[in-house]
Structure formats: C-alpha cells, structure tokens
Amino acid sequence: MVALVIALALFFDFTNGFHDTANAMATPIATGAIKPKTAVTLAAILNLVGAFLSTEVAKTVSGGIIREGSDGVQITPDIIFAGLMGAILWNMITWLKGLPSSSSHALFGGLIGAAIAGIGFNSINLEGLMQKVILPAIFAPLIAGIVAYVCTRLAYALTSRHDPETGSKLTQKRGGFRTGQIFTSSLVALAHGTNDAQKTMGIITLVLIAAGTQTPGSGPQFWVIAACAFAIAIGTYAGGWRIIRTMGSGLTEVKPAQGFAAETSTASAILASSHLGFALSTTQVASGSVIGSGMGRRGTTVRWSMVGKIALGWLFTLPAAGIVGALTALLVKTGVVGVLIAAVAGTAAVLLMFFYSRKSAVGHHNAIEVEEAGQAVRFAKKKAMARARAEAKAKAKAKAKANPEAAPETPAKAESPADAEADAITTKDVQR
C-alpha cells in the first residue's frame, strides 16, 4: 500500500507539472519572447533545480494540516491514497477544461475530505489549515494582482516617449521587456519548483510517517526530494497547452511590458511564500498577476467572463476534491477489494479524459494563435512602413532633380516626409 501511494503521489506530481506550466511560460509564449518548446524545456529544468532549494512547504504539508499521530489521531496510507485520488481527478478535469485551477488546493481538499471520512474531524489541524492555506489563498492573488497593476503602470509610464517640441506621442520602444521576460519567467519556474514540488514531498513523507518508517516532525529524505523533482520536471516538459492558451490569451491580450510585470509579481510572491512555509497556489498567484497587468495597461480589456469561470473553479476546488477523497476513503475502508475498485475506477477516469482530449488536441502548434496573428500584423506593418519610406524618398529625390532650387534644406535631425508618412500608417491600414 505504501508503494502504491508513493507511485500515485509521483503521478500527482507529474500532473501538477503539466497543469502549472502555464504559470511561468504562458505570458512569454504569448508575447513571442520564447518559443513554445524552448519555454517548456527551460521551465522543466528550473522546476527540477528549484525542488532542491527548500523543504519548508513539505513540512507544512506533512505536519501542518493533517495530524501525524498526536491526540490519538493516526493517518494511514489508505487515507492518503484516497486524498490523492481526489486531487488527481480534479486536476485532470480542470486541465481538460483549460482552467488554471490550483493543484495545491486540490491536494489539500482531497486529503481533508479523506481524513474526515476515514478518521473524523479531529484529524484536521484547523489552525494550520487556516494560517498556511486558507488565508494565503484569499490574499495572495489579490496582492499579486495589485503589485502587477502598479508595475505595469510604472513600466508604461517610465518608457513612454513624446516629441519634446510638439508633445505628440512617438513610437514606443519596449522591446527590452520581451528580453526581460526570459529572465522573469525563468524566475517563476524556479519559484514553482521550490513551492509545488515540495507538496508531493510532504505527501510521501506523510505516508512514510504513517507507515512507521520515519519519525513524526522530520523533513523529507533525499530520495524523496529527487524523485519529486524529476516527476514535476517531466510533467512540466509535457506542457499543459490547454491552460497555456487560457493564461496567455484567454484572460487578456498580453504585451511584453505586461508579461514582465506579471511574472515579476508572481515570482516575488511565490518565493516569499516558500521561505515562510506557506503552501501557496502558484496558479492563483499567476492568474491574479495576469489580471492585474491587464487592468494596468490602457486600451486593453480583461475578459471577465473567463475570470468568472476561473474564480468558480477556485471556489469548487477544495470541496470537489474533498468529496472525491471522502468517497474514495469510504470505499477503501472496506478492504483490499475497495482499494482495487478505487484504483481501477480512478485509472479508467484518467484514461477516459486523456483520450477525450485528443478529439480537440491543443499543442505547441496551436496554443498561441492570437500571438501568431499579432506577429503577422506587426511584420506586415513594418513591411508597409519600409515601403512607404522608400516611396517617399524616391518622390523627394525626383522632385529635387526636377526643381533643385525649390528643394528646401532639411536639417539632419528633422523628420523627413517618408518618416511622417510611415508614422501615419496604422495597424488598421495594414489589415485593410
């Protein structure tokens, strides 16, 4: 049973990886800062590295939410097995729908439901649950969204360019943010490894404590850290393209400055929570940052209907995973036959959702349709501007040859007719 639970925990870690790839890489993929395949490879490597950097969150999971054996409460591998089933099934459902739900809260919900059904309410450490899970879940996305909003406004204000004489708006040069996104998204991926991989470490540690092979209150062993690090890295490399599409273009149209601000806010919040031992939802933080950055850029709109769907997913994550965990716990209490039925039913459900997803497959080739269209428009606009400049220069030379005396002397820094004509071209003209 212990071996079965450890294998199931590592599979949950794998689903956590591909479910949360979007947290780090959706915005740089959407803006064209990193190619899709390169992005998921980089995220996988940094998740692997990040998993070795801290174990505070693992200790919270293994001893801060479910009581390990104090007050007469004894968690068993059967209960942990039931909790993992609830978490995995909810992860698969939200992945299929493309909703950036919280893998962390699915895990906690599954464990809490299974523990209540299998042992009783006294198995739950309510104080630890409130301090380490509930309160961070409420405030973290709000704080990240506000910080991303402020950072986005600052980014656009500090890089705004106007003509000193006329005050007219000049072409904005914000390409540096696209390069900066490579570093900020990498920091988010590293932070994700420090936070989310530890949750599975905590689960396996809890199993070992429950089985009597590890003393209560101790941290994860090295082989547990290594196994969880590789599991989440492989899952990240698989890429959760459905959720990447939602995070990259479903919430708002993301520009490089926005992406830079959102990723900086996300990484800061996650790294701080990892240090403090808060089992934070990286998905909620990343979603809050993307929404905040969208509100911070003028002329863009936040797709509130999608925000509403995501918020509903957040609201139902804990209870939905808890119900599945509780039902599974009641089933496994019947004995070996119950465990086998739960394992077979869970496996069948996962395979069914996977094969159903193949009917409308989303991959690196079609997860960023919006950005590809935007790049095509930008390319066409640059081409049209270059053609306009060339035609204007040719006309100016022809006019100068025809009437050399009438040709005015143009200062070196003055705007040429070609530049004026090119600046008048808009994206709408190119699209027409």
Domain final residue, candidates 345, 364, 383: 364
Greater pLDDT, 55 or 373? 55
DSSP assignment, residue 174? Answer: -
Q: Are residues 347 and 386 in the same domain?
A: no
Which whole-number Å values give the CA distances from 131 to 100, 196, 380, in the listed order?
23, 18, 53
Tell me the C-alpha distance between 202 and 205, whole Å. 5
DSSP assignment, residue 212? Answer: T
Look at residue 370 in the predicted model and tell me its pLDDT. 42
The residue type found at 334 is T
| 134 located within any domain | yes
**Axis-axis angle for helices 222-238, 175-210 (nearest 10):** 140
Tell me what the mean pLDDT of segment 387-411 comes to: 69
Listed in sequence order, the residues at least 6 apart from 105 whose beta carbon sits closer than 8 Å to its beta carbon are 133, 137, 281, 314, 317, 318, 321
Convert the pLDDT of each residue in 269-282 to its tens digit.
877 776 776 666 77
**Axis-axis angle for helices 304-332, 77-97 (nearest 10):** 150
Calculate the average pLDDT of the chain: 77
Q: Are residues 309 and 348 in the same domain?
A: yes
Look at residue 347 in the predicted model and tell me its pLDDT. 92
Convert the pLDDT of each residue in 305-349 to its tens digit.
777 887 888 888 889 999 999 999 999 988 889 999 999 999 999
| 402 located within any domain | no
Look at residue 413 in the predicted model and tell me its pLDDT. 45
Question: Per the structure block, which two tokens stand in for 364?
Answer: 């690196």
**Within 13 Å of residue 64, how many CA atoms lie on the same side as its CB?**
21
For residues 284, 351, 84, 242, the Cα torsion angle rounded to the nearest 10 degrees is -10
Phi/psi for 217 (5° steps) reads 90, -10
Tell me what the mean pLDDT of segment 105-128 comes to: 85
| 158 located within any domain | yes
Q: Are residues 376 and 311 in the same domain?
A: no
Phi/psi for 159 (5° steps) reads -105, 5
Q: Are residues 340 and 377 in the same domain?
A: no
Domain membership of residue 250 as a residue range: 1-162+173-364
Question: Per the structure block, which two tokens stand in for 284?
Answer: 């909620």
pLDDT > 90? residue 61:
no
Convert the pLDDT of each residue in 207-234 to its tens digit.
888 788 888 777 788 899 899 889 988 9
Look at residue 163 in the predicted model and tell me its pLDDT. 58
Look at residue 351 in the predicted model and tell me its pLDDT. 92
pLDDT > 70? residue 199:
yes
Which whole-number Å values give the CA distances from 9 to 80, 224, 411, in the listed order?
9, 11, 71
Convert the pLDDT of each residue in 143-171 to its tens digit.
888 888 888 888 887 777 665 666 566 55
- Could you tell me which of 94, 86, 141 has the C-alpha nearest to residue 319? 86
β-sheet bridge partners, residue 162: 169
DSSP secondary structure string, 343-411? HHHHHHHHHHHHHHHGGG---TTTTTHHHHHHHHHHHHHHHHHHHHHHHHHHHHHHHHHH-TTTPPPPP
With 0-12 / 13-18 / 19 or more C-beta atoms within 10 angstroms meaning exposed / middle / buried, residue 203 is: buried
Count each helix (H run) and each strand (E run) in the chain, helices first.
Answer: 17, 0
Question: Per the structure block, which two tokens stand in for 246?
Answer: 């939602």
The b/e string for 55-68 (b: 16+ C-beta within 10 A; e otherwise) is bbbbbbbbbbbbbb
Please report where in the chains the tokens 């809050």 appear, as a residue: 288
pLDDT > 80? residue 71:
no
The residue type found at 231 is A
| 432 located within any domain | no
pLDDT > 70? residue 80:
yes
Q: Are residues 379 and 312 in the same domain?
A: no
- Could you tell me which of 54, 432, 48 has the C-alpha nearest to residue 275? 54
Q: Are residues 48 and 131 in the same domain?
A: yes
Q: Are residues 348 and 375 in the same domain?
A: no
Domain final residue, candidates 312, 343, 364: 364
- Could you tell me which of 53, 167, 60, 85 has the C-alpha nearest to residue 339? 85
How many domains in the chain?
2
Q: Are residues 237 and 384 in the same domain?
A: no
Q: Per mean pLDDT, which range of 38-52, 176-190, 315-329, 361-375 is the poorest?
A: 361-375
3-state secondary structure 39-102: HHHHHHHHHHHHCCCCCHHHHHHHHHHECCCHHHCCCCHHHHHHHHHHHHHHHHHHHHHCCCCC
For residues 141 and 284, the answer to whether their CB atoms sit within 8 Å is yes
pLDDT > 80? residue 301:
no
| 250 located within any domain | yes
| 8 located within any domain | yes
Tell me what the mean pLDDT of segment 377-395 comes to: 70
Q: 3-class DSSP state for residue 277?
A: coil
| 406 located within any domain | no
Look at residue 219 in the predicted model and tell me its pLDDT. 76
Top mean-pLDDT range of 85-94, 231-240, 420-429 = 85-94
Q: Are residues 333 and 378 in the same domain?
A: no
Q: Are residues 283 and 353 in the same domain?
A: yes
Q: Are residues 376 and 340 in the same domain?
A: no
| 321 located within any domain | yes
Domain final residue, candidates 313, 341, 364: 364
Tell me what the mean pLDDT of segment 353-368 comes to: 75
Q: Are residues 328 and 384 in the same domain?
A: no
